[in-house]
Amino acid sequence: MAPQSLQQILLSPAELSYLHTSLSSNPPIRPDGRTATQFRPLIAESDILPGTNGSARICFADGTEAVVGVKAEVERSSGISRDVDGEGEGEEGVKKGRNEWVEISVDIPGERDDDSNPIFLAAVLSEALLADGEFVERLWINRHFHWRLYLDVLLLSPPLSYPLPLLSLTTHLALLTTRLPKLLSEKDEDPLFSDDWDASEPLYHPPHTSHPPITLLVMAVQETIIFDPSKEELAVADAVLAVSLSESPTSNSSSQDTEMEMDVEGGKKRNLRLLAVRTIDPPSRLTHKGLANKVNTATGGTAQKNLEDGGGDGEEGVWCPPRGGAKRGLIKEMIGRVLERGGVGEEVLDGLCGAEL
Amino acid sequence: MTSLKRSLVSDPYASNISSKVYVRSTKAGKVQKIVRELYLRQDIPCSSKLCTACLKNAPRDASGILAPFVLSAKPAGTKKYTQGHYLVPDTNALLNALDLFEQKSAFYDVIILQTVLEELRNRSIPLYNRLIGLTKSEEKRFHVFFNDFRLETYVTRGEGVSINDRNDRAVRRAVKWYSEHLAQAVKAADGKSGQVPAVVMLSDDKENLKKAKKDGIDSCSLREYVDGLDDANNLLDMIAVVKEGREIKDTKMVQKVHKDYLTVSKMMTGVKNGTLHQGIFNVTPYNYLVGSIKVPAFDKPLMILGRESMNRAVHGDVVVVEVLTKDQWKEASTKIIEEETINKDENADAEDGEAVVTEREQRALQEEVKRVHSKTSEGRAQPTAKVVGVIKRNWRQCVGHIEESSVSKSGKPQMVFLIPMDKKIPKIRVRTRQAAEIVGKRVLVTIDSWDVDSRYPVGHFVRSLGDVENKAAETEALLLEYDVQYRPFPKAVLDCLPAEGHDWIVPPSTDDPGWQDRRDLRHLQICSIDPIGCQDIDDALHARPLPNGNFEVGVHIADVSHFVKPNSAMDAEASIRGTSVYLVDKRIDMLPMLLGTDLCSLKPYVQRYAFSAIWEITPDAEIVNSEFTKSVIKSREAFSYEQAQLRVDDQSQQDDLTLAIRTLLTLSKKFKQKRMDAGALSLSSPEVKVEMESETSDPIDVKTKKHLDTMSLVEEFMLLANTSVAAKIYSAFPQTAMLRRHGAPPKTNFEELALQLKTKRGLELSVDSSKALADSLDTCIDPNEPFFNTLVRIMATRCMMAAEYFCSGTQAYPEFRHYGLASEIYTHFTSPIRRYADLVAHRQLAAAIDYEPIHAAVRSKGKLEAVCRNINVRHRNAQLAGRASIEYYVGQALKGRIVEEEGFVMKVFSNGFVVFVPRFGIESLIRLRDLAEPEPEGVFDAEEYVLETKGSREIRVELFGKVVVRISDVLEEKTGKRVVKSEFVKSGGKE
């Protein structure tokens, strides 16, 4: 989907062409001197809203900041079979969750609730969260009751760049710090919770179960793959993907190996799992073609008499908005880079773990 | 970026702010995380008179007034703390022994910490209320110190520390701070360190005491402390039984005598989805092994049969029951079973290996099950249930006496059994050292707990009331049993009385603001008619002919609402008392005597404020119009019923007052006839008057009250006034008027009586409407026996529902009906001196006539509903207390005498029958085994209601039959009580 309401790109075709060329070299030359896989520093803090079950705030280096608050409410389950004990859902050990139990709402300043942008962003975030089907099981209390989770994602600054990675990271952090009151009642009784907040249990029990997902933006300029693109870099992208990944529960056999290497690398090896991939229409498609010098009357060229002359098409240095999709090989490469061991995904997750608690 | 988190480092006030986070679950099932911020202060005073520093900094209220310091400068000392001490009790100390703290002999200068107060409130609201009462009393010098708000004593919870531990630490910290603070204060005043009072922590928690010793704080357990006081023996008994020492027993399997209760969440779930039911547990008066519980799901109450099913529920508790399967349903009991007889001679100390149901009990129950197949409802199995959990215990202090057989004569502490006066409460095990001294006395105890492995509940002794036969003790016992507030009025209440006291008079000049909106009715010939010796005259009447041939009739009621303003201390006290209680020789007033018998009372020859209802009535007793007004009256005479009757009958008297009374009499007769035609019921309660010797107040004789015409006179006009006022306040306040209703009794209540009448006498009792009932009651006569009709009326009264006060917004208009009076709408208005409901009606009527604006308290539906609930309970208790007092006095009147009287059989059981003796107004139970030695064999015909005996004595008694009984008083050996005993002489009348 085209992020149409993002601020217009105020770069001239020459600038666009310049950026494109420098980014497509190998290694890419980025305007701020970062390497292809280097992320800008961010500041994160959690538990900032005392009234919520979990909250987090992340500020990116370009000045954008987002706050996410998570609230939970007990709700009666309906429709799940009211059969006499023993039938229907099988034994009581079977917990079945439902996707309606999670509600994500995104608020972007300057946009209405029903604008396409917030809805799309909310859909991407919830898709990632619900993709493995295991998250909603944590919300199950008993056969007749469940938790309903409300995630309110607020972008506090005007959207200077595509806000998806920021919102996703903030949601990840907020979910990590979410706590639910401790259940005292047993089995199918009406739920009774402990008064003590300190006895509450985190939604994601560390460290063995899986973590909430994150969504990263990956862009490609010809053959070069770049992570954490800034606004200018996105303006010249050939292909942009939003990749959602999470860490799957580590199996027993590999945990022994990973533990030994933990101290050495400062982070354990994670089993990353791809949850979703979405293509984002880069803003570069909305730009205008540049004019080659030789057909530009301002620089001493002659204007084209007819369009078929086509002069300047594909000429080096003349900006041309990208057309067509990305090659499959390229997409595969992009995804692979995100998920590989020691790659970008792990780096981000490690970084966020450090911010936790 | 700047952090959004409240950073405690950079904030200059940071150390003063703290926050509390907890989870709150609402009734609707919502679960909320609540965050509360706490601002900590440094100026909360220690409230000790020794400390001048706190006096300087102490905060003042809006008017600049400083709350006075409470803790004395020279507190009492004990053997251990000779320099004087302040006490700081822990929550468990208060839970176990609040009675100790209420003693007058010790426990002064006590500091109650906020932490402890809040923990107590969460654990037990009645104890909390009592503690608040203690803190308000000035002589006990209890001070509430807000340690959670004071910076120096605030304690935060560490990681992984439980709430209890944190609270314990808070208590220790506060104690430490107090001792340091006091030391400083004394030093500042240049005192010697020997004068610093010790601050002692009282706790029964071993962990807490250990840690306190480590911290260097003075502390001791309750027992140790009490040992050091004078009067230790008495006081030690009052400490409730603590659960320590149970760990040792656990090693050999504690045998569970009762079943465990279900968890709270299981019970709530069960009640919500209808598998379990909640209600109030009642014990039937004649059979202590059978209980009943009324639940919304069933029409008839569910039965609970046997100790095992009752599972430690006590009469009055709110419990949750589970209905048993149909094959376990039992029939209603026709036996009289008393705990005293079945369970006597038990060992109070036996704690192991007890069965829930003893053999004797089992046998008694089994005979129930052997039922001959019969047609009555008594034969059919009724829904039976068992108790699975208790929601709320309604344990109160009960009066009783020690069971002699359980006492051993040594002076050592031992467990004894206490038998409560109220037969519905089981025996209580009490540990005491003074067993030998308190045998034969009436004592007050409280139940503490009833464990799973114990056959009887366990309690502790509060105080002794006096010897069993002693009149004062018996009266006090009666008042305590029925929860009547009889203590003298506190100072706060007496402060609300007018300053002039007995010299108060109606302002002489009519320009005085007291006269505003009051009509001057001093010229009217008003008189009052009341029982002999009545000093609190509520009502007065007048009547005079009008030129158009009609009569002007007025009812004037004492204007109590002028003296008792809403929301004053006196109003609060009156609201709690609810009604005046009339015992035979004593009257417990609702309002102080100054008001009740002087300022409000419509005494003759003096001017008084009144609230008047004036009607214009035709000679045929039709009401033309009515009005209500506040007024000033001057009563001409205060008659007794007998005096008024004499005066009316005496034809030589022709003055205005007598003529007025005669008019009233004729009109009242017409009103009565109208009511009877409309279906009002005239039911009988046995009214008995005890004559007393004037000097000693010993009862001489007992007579039934005679009914005079003048009594009807007053009654009719009071009814008229009440009905008119009800209509007026309902029209002014349709949602919040204080009214009184009497619901129509359900047909099932009358089933048994109707069946009995039909079987025995062939008489029909129709209950379709009150008129039908009244008419059919009139036909229930026995030409040979004039009393039969009264007997039937008495029994019919018992089938009725109780009348109750209610708030008009809570019921639909058809429900306002007063069945017994056949009136559409009714209230109580005419006795504000002795009933709180009337006072509320006065306030509402005053607002309805625009005399004064309505006060918020009388307008709020919620508050009025609470008031109604309370006064309904108090009204019932007052009636029961009055009856019990009469019973006691009847017993006393018979002391040493033996009388033979006629009686009528009211109820027949398989092992006995109940005889009602009209002369004394008492019901006595005659058991088969009382008839002869050895017990004759009984043959009970349940359908014909006849009991015949064979064997050592042969008699035949049938329901409604006349019998002669010999009544005497007998000193029961095992209880030391004097009871009225009836012996059966013969059937038939006294020839």
User: What phi and psi values does residue B724 have, to the nearest 5 degrees?
Assistant: -65, -45
CA distance B123 to chain A (A): 14
What integer pLDDT is reported at residue B978 of this predicted model?
Answer: 65
Assess whether pLDDT exceeds 70 at residue B762.
yes
CA triple A103-A106-A112, angle to 5 deg: 120
Could you tell me if B726 and B737 are in contact, meaning their C-beta atoms sit under 8 angstroms apart? Answer: yes
pLDDT tens for each residue of B357-370: 555 665 555 554 44
Cα→Cα distances B631→B172, B349, B510, B563, B839, Å: 63, 67, 12, 14, 16
Cα→Cα distances B321→A190, B9, B11, B20, B712, Å: 18, 56, 57, 38, 48
B157 with A198: Cβ contact below 8 A: yes
Across residues B299-306, what is the average pLDDT? 81
User: What is the C-alpha to C-alpha distance for residues A199 and A188, in angstroms, rounded to an integer?
Assistant: 21
pLDDT tens for each residue of A158-194: 877 888 999 999 999 999 889 999 888 877 777 888 8
Q: Tell me how crowded residue A288 is: count the other CB atoms within 10 A of its CB.
A: 11
User: What is the C-alpha to C-alpha distance for residues B174 and B219, in angstroms, rounded to an integer?
Assistant: 13
A194 with B23: Cβ contact below 8 A: yes
Write B618-625 long-range contacts (CB < 8 A, 24+).
B618/B549, B618/B550, B618/B551, B619/B549, B619/B550, B619/B551, B620/B670, B621/B667, B621/B670, B621/B671, B621/B674, B624/B550
pLDDT tens for each residue of A113-122: 888 889 999 9
Domains B264-468 and B894-987 share a fold: yes
Nearest to B22 among A57, A59, A196 (CB): A196
CA distance A295 to chain B (A): 49
CA distance B393 to chain A (A): 21
User: What is the C-alpha to C-alpha distance for residues B43 and B16, in angstroms, rounded to an integer?
Assistant: 12
Assess whether pLDDT exceeds 50 at residue A294.
yes
Q: Residue B100 corresponds to which tokens in the numbers above?
A: 């100790």
Rounded (10°) angle between helices B569-577 and B836-848: 130
What integer pLDDT is reported at residue B375 of this predicted model?
Answer: 34
A50 with B264: Cβ contact below 8 A: no
Element (H, E) at A201: strand A201-202
User: What is the C-alpha to C-alpha distance for residues B366 and B331, in angstroms, rounded to an integer?
Assistant: 11
Across residues B328-352, what is the average pLDDT? 59
Q: Residue A96 corresponds to which tokens in the numbers above?
A: 């079945």
Of A63-77, B411-425, B858-872, the least confident: B411-425
Which residues of A fall within a CB distance of 8 Å from B265?
184-186, 189-192
Domain coordinates in residue numbering, chain B:
52-240, 264-468, 491-737+824-878, 894-987
Enumerate the β-bridge partners of residue A132.
none
Cα→Cα distances B661→B531, B545, B649, Å: 16, 12, 11
CB pairs under 8 A between A and B: 72
CA triple A201-A275-A353, angle to 5 deg: 45
Could you tell me if B904 and B963 are in contact, meaning their C-beta atoms sit under 8 angstroms apart? Answer: yes
Q: What are the residues whose beta carbons fall under 8 Å from the beta carbon of B910, sequence distance 6 or more?
A: B334, B335, B938, B940, B942, B947
What integer pLDDT is reported at residue B831 of this predicted model?
Answer: 92
Q: Residue A139 corresponds to which tokens in the numbers above?
A: 């919300």
User: Which one-letter DSSP state was computed for residue B67?
Assistant: P
Residue recorded with tokens 């529920």: B313
Give first-to-last CA distance, chain A, whole Å: 36
CA distance B321 to chain A (A): 17
Q: Residue B331 corresponds to which tokens in the numbers above?
A: 């029939």
What integer pLDDT is reported at residue A92 of this predicted model?
Answer: 44
Assess whether pLDDT exceeds 80 at residue B151.
yes
What integer pLDDT is reported at residue B247 of this predicted model?
Answer: 40
Q: Residue B931 corresponds to which tokens in the numbers above?
A: 């008839």
Could you tell me if A70 and A175 are in contact, meaning their C-beta atoms sit under 8 angstroms apart? Answer: yes
User: What is the C-alpha to C-alpha distance for residues B692 and B217, in angstroms, rounded to an integer?
Assistant: 62
Could you tell me if A50 and A31 are in contact, meaning their C-beta atoms sit under 8 angstroms apart? Answer: no
Q: What percent of chain A has a predicted confidence (pLDDT) above 90? A: 25
Q: Which of A144, A197, A200 to mutate to test the interface with B (most CBs of B within 10 A)?
A: A197
User: What is the C-alpha to C-alpha distance for residues B311 and B356, in angstroms, rounded to an integer?
Assistant: 9
Nearest to A196 among B19, B163, B265 (CB): B163
Under CATH, to which class is B894-987 assigned? Answer: mainly beta
Distance, CA of B182 to chain centre? 45
Q: Is A30 helix (H, G, I), strand (E, B) or coil?
A: coil
B4 with A185: Cβ contact below 8 A: no
Residue recorded with tokens 């709110």: B318
What integer pLDDT is reported at residue B409 of this predicted model?
Answer: 67
pLDDT tens for each residue of B38-57: 888 888 888 888 888 888 88
Of all residues in chain B, the one with the smallest CA distance to A45 is B3
Q: Is B17 on the interface with A (CB under 8 A)?
A: no
pLDDT interval class at B348 (50, 70, 90): low
More confident residue, B343 or A141: A141
What integer pLDDT is reported at residue A106 of this predicted model?
Answer: 94
Q: Residue A25 corresponds to which tokens in the numbers above?
A: 């070299």
What integer pLDDT is reported at residue A2 of this predicted model?
Answer: 43
More confident residue, A98 or A51: A51
CA distance A226 to chain B (A): 26
User: What is the C-alpha to C-alpha distance for residues A64 and A77, in angstroms, rounded to an integer?
Assistant: 39
Of A73-77, A169-173, B190-194, B569-573, the least confident: B190-194
Q: Residue B970 corresponds to which tokens in the numbers above?
A: 């007998």
User: What is the C-alpha to C-alpha distance for residues B724 and B628, in angstroms, rounded to an integer?
Assistant: 9
Which residues of A fall within a CB distance of 8 Å from B33?
51-53, 181, 197
Q: Is B509 on the interface with A (CB under 8 A)?
A: no
User: Which one-letter DSSP state was computed for residue B599?
Assistant: I
Which residues of B fall within a CB distance of 8 Å from A85?
none
A196 with B35: Cβ contact below 8 A: no
User: Which one-letter DSSP state was computed for residue A237?
Assistant: -
pLDDT tens for each residue of B673-730: 998 888 888 765 656 666 665 555 555 566 666 778 888 899 999 999 999 999 999 9
User: What is the C-alpha to C-alpha distance for residues B250 and B248, in angstroms, rounded to an integer?
Assistant: 5
pLDDT interval class at B991 (50, 70, 90): low
* CATH no. for B52-240: 3.40.50.1010
**In chain B, residues 250-279 whose CB comes closer than 8 Å to chain A:** 263-266, 268-269, 272
B30 with A47: Cβ contact below 8 A: no
Mean pLDDT of chain B: 81
A192 with B265: Cβ contact below 8 A: yes
Q: What are the residues whose beta carbons fall under 8 Å from the beta carbon of B955, sequence distance 6 or more?
A: B931, B948, B949, B984, B986, B987
User: Which one-letter DSSP state was computed for residue B507?
Assistant: -
Q: Residue B983 corresponds to which tokens in the numbers above?
A: 């012996």
Q: Is B27 on the interface with A (CB under 8 A)?
A: no
* Maximum Cα–Cα distance across chain A: 88
pLDDT interval class at B559 (50, 70, 90): very high
Nearest to B30 among A73, A192, A196 (CB): A73
Length of chain B: 991
Across residues A226-233, what is the average pLDDT? 89
Which residues of A fall within a CB distance of 8 Å from B264?
192
Residue recorded with tokens 């009970």: B940
Classified by CATH at the fold level, domain B264-468 comes out as: OB fold (Dihydrolipoamide Acetyltransferase, E2P) (2.40.50)
* CATH no. for A13-355: 3.30.230.70
Residue recorded with tokens 């002795």: B834
More confident residue, B393 or B237: B393
Cα→Cα distances B973→A71, B404, B658, Å: 70, 9, 57
Across residues B491-499, what is the average pLDDT? 86
User: What is the C-alpha to C-alpha distance for residues B432 and B75, in angstroms, rounded to an integer?
Assistant: 30
DSSP A81-108: --PPTTSSS-STT-----GGGEEEEEE-
Which residues of A fall within a CB distance of 8 Å from B272?
190
What integer pLDDT is reported at residue B739 of this predicted model?
Answer: 94
More confident residue, A21 or B898: A21
Residue B78, amino acid: T
What integer pLDDT is reported at residue B369 of this predicted model?
Answer: 44
Across residues A212-231, what is the average pLDDT? 90
CA distance B270 to chain A (A): 8
A190 with B29: Cβ contact below 8 A: yes
What integer pLDDT is reported at residue B836 of this predicted model?
Answer: 94
Q: Identify the CA nearest to A220 among candidates A11, A5, A36.
A: A36
B4 with A73: Cβ contact below 8 A: no
Residue A217, amino acid: L
Residue recorded with tokens 């005096």: B643
What integer pLDDT is reported at residue A79 of this predicted model?
Answer: 64
Name the pairing type of β-strands A65-76 and A145-155: antiparallel
CA distance A107 to chain B (A): 19
More confident residue, B130 or B721: B721
pLDDT interval class at B10 (50, 70, 90): very low
Q: Is B385 helix (H, G, I), strand (E, B) or coil?
A: strand
Could you tell me if B223 and B239 are in contact, meaning their C-beta atoms sit under 8 angstroms apart? Answer: yes
List residues of chain A with CB under 8 Å from any CB of chain B.
Answer: 43, 45, 47-48, 50-53, 57, 59, 65, 67, 72-74, 76, 181, 184-186, 188-198, 200
How many CA atoms lie less than 13 Å away from A181 in the CB half-sphere? 27
Which residues of A fall within a CB distance of 8 Å from B29?
74, 76, 190-191
Q: Is B31 on the interface with A (CB under 8 A)?
A: yes
Q: What are the residues whose beta carbons fall under 8 Å from the beta carbon of B865, sequence distance 6 or more?
A: B807, B810
User: What is the C-alpha to C-alpha distance for residues B455 and B467, in angstroms, rounded to an integer?
Assistant: 29
Across residues B554-568, what is the average pLDDT? 92
Q: Is B156 on the interface with A (CB under 8 A)?
A: no
A190 with B272: Cβ contact below 8 A: yes
User: What phi and psi values does residue B455 have, to the nearest 5 degrees?
Assistant: -75, -30
pLDDT interval class at B541 (50, 70, 90): very high
User: For the whole model, what pTM was predicted?
Assistant: 0.66
What integer pLDDT is reported at residue B374 of this predicted model?
Answer: 32
Assess whether pLDDT exceeds 60 at residue B815.
yes
Which residues of B fall within a CB distance of 8 Å from A47?
5
Assess whether pLDDT exceeds 50 at residue A91.
no
B19 with A50: Cβ contact below 8 A: yes
pLDDT interval class at B623 (50, 70, 90): very high
A67 with B4: Cβ contact below 8 A: yes
Strand segments (E) across B284-432: 290-293, 302-305, 318-323, 330-331, 381-382, 385-392, 397-402, 414-420, 428-432
